[in-house]
């Protein structure tokens, strides 16, 4: 495992997980995952996604993977729910904030809300992500995002080599 970079995703229906798996395999980076004990299947599960976003709730999560404190950079990958960061990733960022050094973010969505998620991570951490981008679920499904993901990964790796202050960058015109 190289670069001291960890990829952590939360995914309800599998799209963000596919992005995380591809990024980690493209660069041989370590993988972690935010999971929940309660299922979000069916109408009740969907409504809970909506309520978590509307009320910015912090659902109970458990993290599975290498300790994020051991990594210089953590790439967070999570869906957008109701124009906001999916609740389980909100919980993870809050719970692990003291141990997170450099944070990069990828939002996965139908089409809108990524910039709100970047802003929310900025608020929780007290600093913006060093790099952020977004992909639509359609881009992930048809595979057209793969080269942009590689560009993002290269930027994360280059950024990780720098010391000191880094300028936050959003790497996607589709990050809305
Ligand atoms: C409750 C709910 C709310 C959503 N709200 C938005 C939204 O506001 N904007 C958007 O672009 N996509 C929205 N989506 C679509 C998801 O972001 C998209 O399907 C994403 O790929 C799901 O990621 P996952 O498969 O990793 O769970 C929403 C999905 C759900 C279930």
Domain boundary assignment for the chain: 5-170
For residue 165, what pLDDT is reported? 56
For residue 172, what pLDDT is reported? 63
User: pLDDT above 70 covers what percent of the chain?
Assistant: 93
Spell out a b/e string for 47-70, using b for 16 or more CB atoms within 10 Å of the CB, else e. Answer: ebbeebbeeeeebebebeeeebee
* Overall average pLDDT of the 64-90 stretch: 98
Measured distance CA(75)–CA(9) in Å, rounded: 8
Is 134 a pocket residue for ligand 1 (Cβ < 6 Å)?
A: no
The residue whose CA has the least distance to atom 10 of ligand 1 is: 110
Measured distance CA(12)–CA(87) in Å, rounded: 11
For residue 171, what pLDDT is reported? 77
Indicate the average pLDDT of the chain.
Answer: 94
Cα 8 from chain centroid? 7
* Overall average pLDDT of the 68-96 stretch: 97
Q: Is the per-residue pLDDT at 19 higher than 80? A: yes
At residue 3 the predicted structure's pLDDT band, cuts being 50, 70 and 90, is confident
For residue 29, the SS3 value is coil
The residue whose CA has the least distance to atom 17 of ligand 1 is: 109
The pLDDT tens digits of the residues spanning 136-174 come to: 999 999 999 999 999 999 999 999 888 665 667 787 656
What CATH architecture is 5-170?
3-Layer(aba) Sandwich (3.40)
Higher pLDDT, 173 or 57: 57
Give the contacts of 129 (CB within 8 A, at least 6 positions apart). Answer: 76, 103, 104, 105, 118, 121, 122, 168
Is 45 a pocket residue for ligand 1 (Cβ < 6 Å)?
A: no
């Amino acid at each position: 495992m190289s670069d001291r970079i960890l990829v952590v995703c939360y995914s309800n229906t599998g799209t963000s997980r596919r992005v995380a798996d591809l990024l980690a395999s493209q660069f041989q980076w370590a993988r972690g995952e935010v999971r929940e004990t309660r299922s979000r299947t069916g109408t009740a599960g969907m409504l809970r996604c909506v309520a978590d976003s509307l009320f910015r709730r912090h659902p109970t999560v458990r993290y599975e993977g290498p300790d994020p404190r051991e990594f210089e950079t953590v790439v967070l990958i999570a869906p957008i729910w109701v124009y906001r960061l999916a609740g389980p990733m909100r919980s993870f960022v809050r719970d692990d904030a003291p141990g997170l050094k450099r944070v990069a973010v990828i939002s996965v969505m139908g089409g809108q809300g990524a910039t709100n998620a970047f802003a929310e991570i900025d608020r929780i951490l007290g600093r913006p992500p060093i790099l952020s981008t977004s992909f639509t679920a359609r881009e992930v499904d048809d595979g057209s995002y793969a080269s942009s993901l590689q560009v993002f990964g290269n930027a994360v790796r280059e950024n990780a080599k720098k010391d000191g202050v880094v300028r936050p960058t959003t790497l996607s015109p589709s990050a809305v």
